[in-house]
Amino acid sequence: MAIKIVSKIEDNEVKSAFPDAYLKVHDVEIRTSKNEAWIRILVFANKNARDLDACSIKKVTKKVSLDDLSLESFDKSSILSASYEWIKLQPEFSGIDV
């Protein structure tokens, strides 16, 4: 699972435009004691780079309240699905194409 985005020049570490960039949730750390999740996102130059698990052009970590994730359960599939759904609602990732 991944999300296609348009990466602006200022959005990445190599300062280049990547019109076919893809986001991929790398991992999610759940902290039940604080009712939060840390979603670690990798941005790849394109779908091929994502599929090959090549070097990412950017790494992003987002702290999210568990209340803001639509978790059906705490299994891997549900956590990933809820993370992608949350990402799609964020203004900084507007204009994404799944």
Read off the pLDDT of residues 43-66 as tens digits, 9 standing for 90 and up.
888 889 989 989 998 899 999 999
The counts of H helices and E strands in the chain are 2, 4
Q: Which residues contact 9 (CB under 8 A, 6 or more apart)?
A: 15, 16, 17
Under DSSP, is residue 23 helix (H, G, I), strand (E, B) or coil? strand
Output the average pLDDT for the chain. 85
Task: Provide the whole-model pTM.
Answer: 0.82
Q: In what order do the strands lie in the sheet with 3-7?
A: 3-7, 18-31, 36-44, 58-65
Taking residues 20-45, what's their average pLDDT? 92
pLDDT of residue 93: 74
Confidence label for 38 from pLDDT (cuts 50, 70 and 90): very high
